[in-house]
Amino acid sequence: MPSPHVLSEPPPHRPDGTSPLHPRLSPRPSPPLSRATVIATLRAAGCVFAEDEAELLISTAHTADALAAMVERRVRGLPLEHVVGWAEFHGLRVTVDPGVFVPRRRTEFLVGQAIGLGRRTAARTGRPTVVVDLCCGSGAVGAALAAALDRVELYAADIEPAAVRCARRNVTTAGGEVYEGDLFEALPAGLRGRIDVLVANVPYVPTQEVGLLPPEAREHEPRVALDGGADGLDVLRRVTAAAPQWLAPGGHLLVETSERQAPQAVEAFTRNGLLPRVTASDELYATVIIGTAPPPHRTRQPPAPHPTP
Ligand SMILES: C[S@@+](CC[C@H](N)C(=O)[O-])C[C@H]1O[C@@H](n2cnc3c(N)ncnc32)[C@H](O)[C@@H]1O
């Protein structure tokens, strides 16, 4: 029988690691979790890439306590990017705060298309390309475009305050400006008719299908970032309706959809006078609709007179 002064178990600790028995000794550092324990814990929680994730968490955490906290958050189902605070996107490390949409690998296809169009625009106009990242979330798309294009005037906007705060960290360092508000209402009026490349990765999940998304998205990303209305195209239709007033002559709007939604999306582009083109990547499972505004008006040259014999 142990003496009443000898504890057979370590004293209890509060969730923050401080000890009610030894407050002056607290916080008590956690014993470091071994790599094997981290992998086993993640695997037991259903993480398919437990080894890779463990590597990332171990290399990101500066202390044993931080590692334990990260493992615990991941086990609770937070997206890995929210746990570590960043996502790799198009070769960049993009800050992603909790509650902000995690940029998807498939959206790198949209970025690739936008880079090609931005370069062609720059070659044609000889001035900085005006790029707008509408529905910017973390601002990953805009930041990637600013990194890839030589001379860019970059603007981004989102309706979610958390996204705007996060995007400011990613976009401002890339020389851009971020605005908060509903679609184009957020943008400075002076951008009307000036946008060369307008990227809008709008929410496009049909309302009925939001519940079928993986819990990481459903529970940890805001609904406004996912839910695109009955057929998923509500926000896309609003963007295509207003875009022609904001695009420069010959400017481009790029929007991601599912393959199934592409025909209806094309219809929305056409109805609003944008010349649509559907592009897709099998590898990234991505579909992007590109709509081009009518080109700059050219005064027709009268036909050359036939040379007189
Ligand atoms: C699918 S997420 C894309 C985020 C980011 N562009 C990316 O690719 O990682 C859609 C974003 O649209 C924003 N959004 C939804 N409705 C909006 C609206 N009416 N005006 C502005 N932003 C909106 C959401 O807050 C969310 O950040």
CATH number for the domain spanning 245: value is: 3.40.50.150
Assess if residue 9 is contained within a domain.
no
64 and 146: one domain?
no
Between the alpha carbon of residue 190 and those of residues 76, 187, 253, the distances in Å are 46, 8, 18
Which residue carries 């709008």 as its tokens? 202
Higher pLDDT, 240 or 173: 240
Return the minimum-mean-pLDDT range out of 1-10, 69-78, 116-125, 238-247: 1-10
Q: Which atom of ligand 1 is the closest one to the Cα of 137? A: 27
Q: How many residues does the chain have?
A: 309
User: From ligand 1's centre to the CA of 248, what distance in Å?
Assistant: 23
User: From ligand 1's centre to the CA of 136, what distance in Å?
Assistant: 6
3-class secondary structure, 300: coil
Residue 31: per-residue pLDDT:
79
- Work out whether strand 275-281 and strand 286-292 pair parallel, antiparallel, or are unpaired: antiparallel
The answer to whether the bond into 23 is cis (omega within 30° of 0) is: no
266 and 123: one domain?
yes
Q: Which atom of ligand 1 is the closest one to the Cα of 110? A: 8
Q: Which of 31, 58, 76 is the last residue of a domain?
A: 76
Distance CA 93, CA 28 (A): 33
Q: Comparing C-alpha atoms, which of 163, 125, 122, 123 is closest to residue 146? A: 122
59 and 123: one domain?
no
Q: Ligand 1 — pocket residues by CB below 6 A? A: 101, 103, 107, 135-138, 140-141, 158-160, 163, 182-183, 201-203, 224-225, 235
Assess if residue 308 is contained within a domain.
no
172 and 65: one domain?
no
Q: Which of 34, 54, 76 is the last residue of a domain?
A: 76
Residue nearest to atom 16 of ligand 1 (CA): 224
209 and 122: one domain?
yes
User: From ligand 1's centre to the CA of 256, what distance in Å?
Assistant: 12
Q: Comparing C-alpha atoms, which of 108, 118, 164, 179 is closest to residue 141? A: 108
User: From ligand 1's centre to the CA of 186, what distance in Å?
Assistant: 13
Q: State which residues form the domain around 133.
A: 107-292
Residue 20: per-residue pLDDT:
40
48 and 144: one domain?
no
- Looking at the structure of the chain, the number of domains it has is 2
**Residues contacting 277, CB < 8 A, separation 6+:** 289, 290, 291, 292
Mean pLDDT score of the chain? 89
Assess if residue 101 is contained within a domain.
no
pLDDT-based confidence at residue 296 (cuts at 50, 70, 90)? confident
Residue 24: per-residue pLDDT:
46
Ligand 1 pocket check: which of 158, 184, 288 to mutate, most ligand atoms within 8 Å of Cβ?
Answer: 158
Contact 117, 145 (CB under 8 A): no
Higher pLDDT, 6 or 242: 242
Distance CA 176, CA 243 (A): 20
pLDDT-based confidence at residue 134 (cuts at 50, 70, 90)? very high
**pTM value?**
0.87
The token pair at 36 is 């094997």
121 and 42: one domain?
no
The H helix count followed by the E strand count for the chain is: 11, 9
With a cut of 50, say whether residue 16 has pLDDT above it: no
pLDDT-based confidence at residue 265 (cuts at 50, 70, 90)? very high
212 and 251: one domain?
yes
112 and 163: one domain?
yes
130 and 68: one domain?
no
Assess if residue 6 is contained within a domain.
no
The token pair at 54 is 């463990």
pLDDT-based confidence at residue 15 (cuts at 50, 70, 90)? very low
The token pair at 223 is 């609904």
126 and 271: one domain?
yes
> Can you tell me the mean pLDDT for 110-134?
97
68 and 216: one domain?
no
The token pair at 270 is 């056409």
